[in-house]
A and B are shown apart, each in its own frame.
Chain A
């Protein structure tokens, strides 16, 4: 399927989901759906660097929060329409991603991962000490009551996040199928051999970090409007770091489908759990699922499905089963 066709199909699907939520008549679905869509963007973004290139980012919360605080900072200057916030959030986070990548991507993956942790803390400390955006006291962003033609403002926010989700999934798919996607895969498989084969690994890694950071920043930009009162502890919350890693790993890291599945499954599970149990227990579940999948099902849900398909017997000759002759295509 060509990418522009794919994009349109996704938009249509998004429209259907929106209509379904409308039909259900309860604004709660928009609030919950917003969070799930946000995680679609975050996990897809994480996977571009983590799943495709093999570089683990523990600081997703930092990029997310940067997007949110860019909105706050600009709101203090002069309130802007959210799409503008989204663009700015993406630019700021993208630039920071580029900068951090430049500092640390020449080193091993493990050092990069630790550096992302460091970045998250440094950024949080900076924000906590920056009174212009409220510091540790927090910042209020008044959400408008309604906006035409949506009515309740949350529907508008939901639509924006839906567009971001469609956009990020399309970007991921385009990358996967392009020369860039092949390059990323070689970085993940064997960076040394990639260099020897002519792949400019540093440049590609920087591209991945920038795109990944930018998308996360875009996901964070509307957040202050969603939550109304932004505090560093909520913007830099650990759940963003864990979920953006758990969702792709559980869904499957090798393609755009994985983070989508992971975000929808895990995100919905958490929304249900938060309502029925406590939010701490629901985070615990995420933690256990992450560890469990990483140990037992390293290729995630996609991998499990593949295994099931490949081992399905298709017939018998005498007493022997013939295994499905699945070409061992690259996962």
Chain B
């Protein structure tokens, strides 16, 4: 273990940048699990799906992956809305969401991964874009553009989401449905419709996050699995339905993973976020900024 100040600073900066990306990945879960209480463990699968769609358009038409993803968000939104409808009719209405709902999402996760394997194989896929490759050198810092660009767009996406949730009618209805469905009904708003919209938004973010992912690293179908724990760790640590909390928690985990990876080796990195999760659940389930 060679310790140097440069190494430390780079690890921390790297962690912060990756953290912003992690926040984008988690934002959808903050919405579906943190706010709506739907344990969508299949979220990483949708992210990988987003990655592969960005990949196809990049390979075939040379389109920028992030732009592709943004264009694809309506499709993902519809997918999310459709899945919620099935979930609601089959489970929420019957009060079976705990066991069977979980099994449902687990099945979706599994099906998505296996179908991707069948269609694309297990080879790593990557995209090409002008910002993948160059690295900025600032003082002793090395900032790869392929991480910086997704980081910046992530922050933008989260800011937009936060604005929607706090300023728009739909957004506030979403926050309201989490707190008091009956009151919402009495005000003439259909809670099921609101939840459907929210879940649709949640999956739509997966499209964009997927593009970030394949820009940052090559992707193959099982990559989603390492994100399950990360995503829920960040969501819980961030206090469940809070986007600012998610951002902070994501950066914290990003930094810790980066430090572990730099000084102890990358094979330990997956254990960091999961370890965090177990610790948080055991010690302070309300998270850092929790309610």
Contact = CB atoms under 8 A, between A and B. Distances in A.
Contact flag (A, B; Cβ within 8 A): yes
Interface of A: 50, 54, 56, 58, 103-104, 107, 109-111, 113-115, 117-119, 121-122, 124-126, 128-129, 136, 238, 241-242, 245-246, 249, 253, 280-281, 283-284, 286-288, 290-291, 294-295, 298
B274 A249 contact: no
A109 B115 contact: no
Contacts of A253: 99
B114 A287 contact: yes
Interface string B266-289: 011011001101100110010000
Contacts of A298: 94, 96, 100
Interface string B250-279: 000000000000000001101100110110
Interface of A, helix, strand, loop or mixed by DSSP: helix
A283 B110 contact: yes
B118 A280 contact: yes
Leading 3 A-B pairs by shortest Cβ distance:
A291-B107, A118-B274, A287-B111
Contacts, number: 127
A220 to B, nearest CB: 20
A295 B102 contact: no
A303 B180 CA distance: 35
Interface of B: 33, 37, 39, 41, 86, 90, 94, 96, 98-100, 102-104, 106-108, 110-111, 113-115, 117-118, 222, 225-226, 228-229, 232-233, 236, 267-268, 270-271, 274-275, 277-278, 281-282, 285
A192 to B, nearest CB: 14
A269 to B, nearest CB: 16
A118 B234 CA distance: 13
Contacts of B104: 291, 294-295
A60 B270 CA distance: 19
Contacts of B270: 121, 124-125
A121 to B, nearest CB: 5
A110 B39 contact: yes
Nearest to B98: A109
A125 B271 contact: yes
